[in-house]
Amino acid sequence: MTSRDGYQWTPAAGLCSGLPSTGVISPPTNLPPGSSHWDVVVVGAGYAGLTASRDACLAGLRVLLIEARDRIGGRSWSSNLDGYPFEMGGTWIHWGQPHVWREISRYQMRQEMSQSFDHSRGVNYFQLRTDHGSSTMTHADEDVLMATALEKVVNVDGALGRTIMPYPHDAFHDPEARQYDEISVQDRLDELSLSPEEGSAVEAFILLCSGGTLPTTSLFEFLHWWALCGYSYQGCMEYLASYKFRGGQSSFAIQFFREAQSTGRLSYVFQSPVQSIQDQGSQVTVTSRDGQTYSATRLVVTIPLNVLSSITFSPALDSQRITAMEIGHVNQTVKVHAEISNRDMRSWSGISYPFNKLLYAFGDGATPAGNTHIVCFGGAQNHIHPEANVEHTQQAVEAMSPGNMDITRLVFHNWSTDEFAQGAWFFPPPKLLSSSLDALRRRHGNVLFANSDWAVGWRSFIDGAIEEGTRAAKTVTDELRVLRDLPIPK
């Protein structure tokens, strides 16, 4: 089935909107006639919403899942084109991410993992193209360059971040660590003396992580990522970009949905954006844009920070949360997949910065046709909207490695213009976390908030979304067990 989301371009067909995905749900609703009240309503069918819905259903609660899109997965979904899965959003997973690994084991998908990198054949080199010139080096030399430069950035304590952030899950409560949320990555770089190659490499890598600009990227959050990855560049590559599902993220997300369905306690309605949420004390009422109303004893909202302001809450949300919503996160990452006919580029990686609209790319797989899959990233700095000018997008891909990018297909999802995301994965500007993380995690009467954007562990990752969905489901399950004998409002 085809989602309304995403774009594909080929020389023969040109630009086409909408991509096939196993995450599309059809029919879009299974609402039984006359149903109007549930134990729990979950707003949003990303990994947080899927986890909360599944766990609540398994605990015996009647759940209604409401989703604005025609598919599950939120900011993590895949499209299978000619037998190859292209990942539109969140992609990589690792056994060191505890919540992800628990679910991979639960659904017996350990054998479904595959490696992104393959340096066994082909060109097998790294290209660094900057305003200072162009150089080509081995991947071993690439690793030395990146590790050396990054270690200079994160070594704020003389111990590569280990002293100030020994427990990354609780770091935002530690004054020693929180002080680094007061400054940006640009502030930190201004303190250092880096070679031109080091500077270009480390800036491109950090912007790849944040999707913002250097002045709008919180140093604290980058240190948090670094700590979660074991305080090393090698760890960053292992955790952040090495392993993915052979069948794509949607093959994983659908397992959550099907298990919830199997209980017989899941109702759902897709293609139904929420307009307002009213907590009336004895129940919470949700109103969709098309005027439909649904009520429950508890409500779990799992939509991203940058979209929260699109919903009217009554009573109004607290001022701290509203301020955080007004600020929002900074990540405007552009992710463009290019299928190219040059098979030798499977072992290539490169940085093209700061002159190009795409800054970082690498060989990420081989399609059944024998072509190479290159995944490219850009960000808020020198931003591009791929569908607005495909010719410019092609030029940006080709500029990553001139003469080697013979494009046969482009595939992408523009998260910046997506009204239900308004940005890619969460990455905060300075001061947002230290002032607002606790507020974002706080409940609002009978309304709970669960999203990877305010997870304490792998924040902004699939693991963080599952962490948050688990937390919300446990809370509502414990509370409703106490209230179980009370009559359900009609």
Position 19 confidence tier, pLDDT thresholds 50, 70, 90: very high
The percent of residues in the chain predicted with pLDDT above 70, rounded, is 99
Q: Which of 375, 395, 414 is the last residue of a domain?
A: 414
Q: Do residue 366 and residue 403 come from a single domain?
A: yes
Q: Do residue 234 and residue 354 come from a single domain?
A: yes
pLDDT for 337 beyond 50: yes
Q: Do residue 173 and residue 306 come from a single domain?
A: no
67 marked as part of a ligand binding site: yes
* Dihedral pair phi/psi, residue 346, rounded to 5°: -60, -30
Q: Considering the domain boundaries, does residue 82 fall inside one?
A: no
Q: Which of 395, 414, 433 is the last residue of a domain?
A: 414
What distance in Å separates the CA atoms of residue 338 and residue 410, rounded to the nearest whole number?
A: 5
Q: Do residue 355 and residue 266 come from a single domain?
A: no
256 marked as part of a ligand binding site: no
Position 482 confidence tier, pLDDT thresholds 50, 70, 90: confident
What distance in Å separates the CA atoms of residue 277 and residue 444, rounded to the nearest whole number?
A: 11
Residue range(s) defining the domain that contains residue 152: 117-241+334-414
Query: Residue 318's domain is classified under what CATH number?
Result: 3.50.50.60
301 marked as part of a ligand binding site: no
pLDDT for 34 beyond 50: yes
**For residue 208, how far is the Cα from the chain centroid?**
13
Q: What is the mean pLDDT of the chain?
A: 96
Q: Considering the domain boundaries, does residue 93 fall inside one?
A: no
Q: Considering the domain boundaries, does residue 437 fall inside one?
A: yes
Model pLDDT, residue 7: 98
Q: Considering the domain boundaries, does residue 54 fall inside one?
A: yes
Q: Do residue 405 and residue 282 come from a single domain?
A: no
Answer yes or no: are the C-beta atoms of 274 and 288 closer than 8 Å.
yes
Model pLDDT, residue 406: 97
Q: How many domains does the chain have?
A: 2
User: Would you give the end-to-end CA distance of the chain in angstroms?
Assistant: 37
Q: Do residue 266 and residue 301 come from a single domain?
A: yes
269 marked as part of a ligand binding site: no
What mean pLDDT comes out for the span 270-293? 97
C-alpha distances in angstroms, 195 versus 130, 198, 322, 417? 12, 5, 42, 36
Q: Considering the domain boundaries, does residue 31 fall inside one?
A: yes
Q: Considering the domain boundaries, does residue 95 fall inside one?
A: no
Model pLDDT, residue 253: 98
pLDDT for 490 beyond 90: no
Model pLDDT, residue 488: 42
- Predicted TM-score (pTM) of this structure: 0.96
What mean pLDDT comes out for the span 460-468? 98
Q: Considering the domain boundaries, does residue 111 fall inside one?
A: no
CA dihedral sign of residues 393, 394, 397, 401: negative
Q: Considering the domain boundaries, does residue 290 fall inside one?
A: yes
Position 485 confidence tier, pLDDT thresholds 50, 70, 90: low
What distance in Å separates the CA atoms of residue 211 and residue 426, rounded to the nearest whole number?
A: 9
Position 325 confidence tier, pLDDT thresholds 50, 70, 90: very high
pLDDT for 489 beyond 80: no
pLDDT for 298 beyond 80: yes
What mean pLDDT comes out for the span 203-215? 98
User: What pLDDT, in 10s, does the model give residues 404-444?
Assistant: 999 999 999 999 999 999 999 999 999 999 999 999 999 99
What distance in Å separates the CA atoms of residue 277 and residue 131, rounded to the nearest whole number?
A: 51
Q: Do residue 287 and residue 233 come from a single domain?
A: no
Q: Do residue 470 and residue 360 come from a single domain?
A: no
Q: Do residue 280 and residue 366 come from a single domain?
A: no
Query: Residue 388's domain is classified under what CATH number?
Result: 3.90.660.10
Answer yes or no: are the C-beta atoms of 347 and 463 closer than 8 Å.
no
Q: Do residue 256 and residue 301 come from a single domain?
A: yes
Q: Do residue 322 and residue 429 come from a single domain?
A: yes
Residue 102 token pair: 């628990």
Q: Do residue 261 and residue 220 come from a single domain?
A: no
pLDDT for 402 beyond 60: yes
What distance in Å separates the CA atoms of residue 433 and residue 324, rounded to the nearest whole number?
A: 9
User: What pLDDT, in 10s, does the model give residues 234-275?
Assistant: 999 999 999 999 999 999 999 999 999 999 999 999 999 999
